[in-house]
Structure 1
Amino acid sequence: MANEIPIRNIYYMLSYVYDVLKEGDNVHLSNEEFDNIYDLFGKILVNGLNLLIKRGFNREYICVSDELPVLRGKIAVNDTLKRQSFILGKLSCEYDELSPNVLFNQIIKASIITLINYKELDKQIKEQLIYINRYFQEIEVIRLQKSHFSRIRYHRNNRFYKLIIDICELIYDEVLVASQKGETIFKDFIRDNRMAALYEKFILNFYKKELSSILVYSPIFQWEKDADFEHIGESFLPVMRTDIVLQNEKRQLIIDAKYYTNALQIRNVGETKKLISGNLYQIYTYINNSTFIGEKAGMLIYPVVDTELDFVYSIQGKKIYVKTLNLNTRWENIYGRLKEIAAGI
């Protein structure tokens, strides 16, 4: 199951989540073999950064303070008097300079260094990153924080950075600890929450791309609250944020992608395995609170563990499907299974 997902399939999943992987001027790695997910991240960075270097770094105006023999920008009067720069025939000046030493490139440099310090990284990829890092000599080394990524703003002239920054954020989220020797240690990407988020976004974006005649979206459903009642603590109600909704004029299918190690559980010794009750309650609540007028159904999609599941129930006239998706198989089988799951809509 999940701990045996071929790296190639993770590449395809990333391709749908970060659609820029499919662009002609970016990376195509589906035919390459990787020993671990970080080799894949490293290779994506290598290919993306080689293109970035050819295109040119994003530059922004930054304020520079310097002592100069001629006036540039404006005089920093207090600094000039404090340092007595005028005795040496200089002025403390402040001026704006177009520089590549900006947050985009600082994030990338920090991520390159993180991967270089990863002992398990493929030797060739590491050498390529070391070579690329020479182009970042002007870039300040920062101690990367999660807040740095939220400060990034994209526009038409820097959108080509998006894939690279997204990969850098994935790398940042996976760093477990950096030892005193500078060696990087990563979490287990395939077992942690990042893979669960990737699984959900992959299925959503797969259907957005592959189902052109069907509305594919991820709405928030509102609780069907009684209008004539004064609700106390209304703000504490949980948000019903759906994973995937497939919809046409007549039918709506609400899908919840559950990246669990097991879709079936044993609650008490001696009992047979049962579906996880909370997941069924959740999808049933989504159906009941959907305002769609036509036929409504729900579906839980788990990755395959021991056996494949293909269940269907009708509860109070509403169908609920439970299906599995085998990620440890050829990509063509994954593609076909997802199309088969959506065929009924």
Structure 2
Amino acid sequence: MEALQAEQIAGLDAQLAYDKIPLRNVWLLFLYASGLAQFQDRFEAEIEESPDFKSLVARLLCYATEKRLRRNLSFGYQRRHDVLRRVRGRIDILESVSRDLFRRGEVACRFDELTLDTPRNRLVLAALERLPSCLEDAVLAHRCRTLVHALGRAGVSSVMPSRTEIAADQIARHEGDDRLMISLAKAVFDLVLPTEQVGTRTLLKSQRDETEFRKLFEKAVANFFAAELKREDGWRVFPGKKFKWPVVSSSSGISSYLPTMETDIILENIQEERRVIIDTKFTDVLTKSQYGGERFKTGHIYQLYAYLRSQERSDDPMSLCSDGILLYPSIDVEIDETALIQNHRVRFVTIDLARPSAEVVEKLRAIPTLSSLLSS
């Protein structure tokens, strides 16, 4: 019972931690999680004027959409099949003959038509339609509705694109404005949702469900290292890598019951012969011990220990001395402790997301450095 209560308190602390994070740093995490680090120093005024993250998303989505409307939205090709008076694209011989179209001076054609009714533009329209019900700012809500009408007049339909359509719509490198606009539109559906309670107030989904912000934190850290660690210095970043259990022999059905092992982030430096396994946790680093005092969480230690020891192989020298890091946001306590356990350096470290963005970035940059923390 005491252990359960401790976990409930830790969960409550995690929720309260979100409220302590400045909007500027939530935006910083979102940018790295979305691969938009190049926008880090922009939109200072919008950040200062927004009372919460959903309002910031709405302001910036409106800004990005208005900018695209002024410069023309991105076009795409839509496959069409129609009966025409002249040939366009490819002739559908079977339909033309079966319907006796040639004798009437018509032809069935299959062709690609340039259109603004693309999945990305429909996603933006759907996001702008959703936002007014989540906003308390009447002026901002009206701005969203105005843009919905503008997109509709431009030829964008209000049909929400499927996940398959969104995934297939690849955004090119030079389409930075579209990348920002689409990431903000996705954030509307991933993070900005109305509460189940009666009333006009809204909450971020991450405030109601710690899992969503944990994913944001995890992805932001992974993308941060991918952006900051230079390949020419020997670093490679592997987010979400799955490990296999080193099973030598087993019964026929055990594979369906063994849990999967999937790390959050792996950093490798071939030049330094180092491998660092990072597991992010959006919860309190410490928990109450039934014997008094506070301790690191047993389950987290066991999980990281399994990642490190289960992957040891004689043909992989880095696996024999790989480092492990458990990375937490700070909740009323700063922790940075390291131990050498069976030739593996294990580190428990917190990041104070309530600090200025520059300090958060510098602390993250220093994460891969372990050796200096170990006493002789």
Indicate whether the TM-score tops 0.5: yes
Alpha-carbon distance in 2 for matches of 1:319, 1:342:
11
The question of whether the paired residues in 1 share the 8 Å contact of 2:336 and 2:349 is answered with yes
| Structure 2 residue 78 is the aligned partner of structure 1 residue 61 | yes
* Counterparts of residues 22-33 of structure 1 (less than 5 Å): 22=38, 28-30=42-44, 32-33=47-48
Percentage of matched positions with identical amino acids: 21
SS of equivalent residue, structure 1 residue 327: coil
| Structure 2 residue 305 is the aligned partner of structure 1 residue 284 | yes
| Structure 2 residue 259 is the aligned partner of structure 1 residue 259 | no
Structure 1 unaligned spans of 5+ = 82-88
Q: Match for 2:309: what amino acid?
A: N
* Counterparts of residues 1-345 of structure 1 (less than 5 Å): 1-22=17-38, 28-30=42-44, 32-33=47-48, 34-53=50-69, 54-63=71-80, 96=111, 97-120=113-136, 122-137=137-152, 138-142=155-159, 149-150=166-167, 152-154=169-171, 161-174=178-191, 176-177=193-194, 185-190=202-207, 192=209, 193-212=211-230, 213=233, 214-218=235-239, 219-226=241-248, 229-232=249-252, 233-248=254-269, 249-260=272-283, 262-266=284-288, 268=290, 271-291=292-312, 292-294=316-318, 295-344=321-370
Residues 27, 250 of structure 1: alpha-carbon distance in 2 compared, 3 angstrom cutoff: closer
SS of equivalent residue, structure 2 residue 317: coil
SS of equivalent residue, structure 1 residue 167: helix
The question of whether the paired residues in 1 share the 8 Å contact of 2:123 and 2:160 is answered with no
Residues 148, 61 of structure 1: alpha-carbon distance in 2 compared, 3 angstrom cutoff: closer
The question of whether the paired residues in 1 share the 8 Å contact of 2:205 and 2:212 is answered with no
Alpha-carbon distance in 1 for matches of 2:266, 2:119:
36
Q: Match for 1:117: what amino acid?
A: S
SS of equivalent residue, structure 1 residue 312: strand
> Once the two structures are superposed, what CA deviation does each residue of 1:11-33 show, in whole Å capped at 9, x if it has no partner?
1222222233516xx98224531
Alpha-carbon distance in 2 for matches of 1:191, 1:274:
27
Give 1:114 deviation, angstroms: 0.8
RMSD of equivalent CA atoms: 3.7
Alignment-derived partner of residue 86 in structure 1: none
SS of equivalent residue, structure 1 residue 38: helix
> Once the two structures are superposed, what CA deviation does each residue of 1:96-153 show, in whole Å capped at 9, x if it has no partner?
5432223222111110011123232x45543443333333112222257666644544
Richer in helix (by share): 2
> Once the two structures are superposed, what CA deviation does each residue of 1:53-80 show, in whole Å capped at 9, x if it has no partner?
21433232243769x9x66868988xx9
The question of whether the paired residues in 1 share the 8 Å contact of 2:64 and 2:177 is answered with no
> Once the two structures are superposed, what CA deviation does each residue of 1:171-214 show, in whole Å capped at 9, x if it has no partner?
113354599x9x79554434532211111111112122222123
Q: Match for 1:29: what amino acid?
A: F
Alpha-carbon distance in 2 for matches of 1:2, 1:245:
26
Alpha-carbon distance in 1 for matches of 2:18, 2:194:
24
The question of whether the paired residues in 1 share the 8 Å contact of 2:275 and 2:323 is answered with yes
The question of whether the paired residues in 1 share the 8 Å contact of 2:75 and 2:114 is answered with no
Q: TM-score normalised to the size of structure 2?
A: 0.73
Q: Match for 2:80: what amino acid?
A: C
> Once the two structures are superposed, what CA deviation does each residue of 1:270-291 show, in whole Å capped at 9, x if it has no partner?
6433222111111111111335
SS of equivalent residue, structure 2 residue 369: coil
Structure 2 unaligned spans of 5+ = 1-16, 372-376
Residues 27, 253 of structure 1: alpha-carbon distance in 2 compared, 3 angstrom cutoff: closer
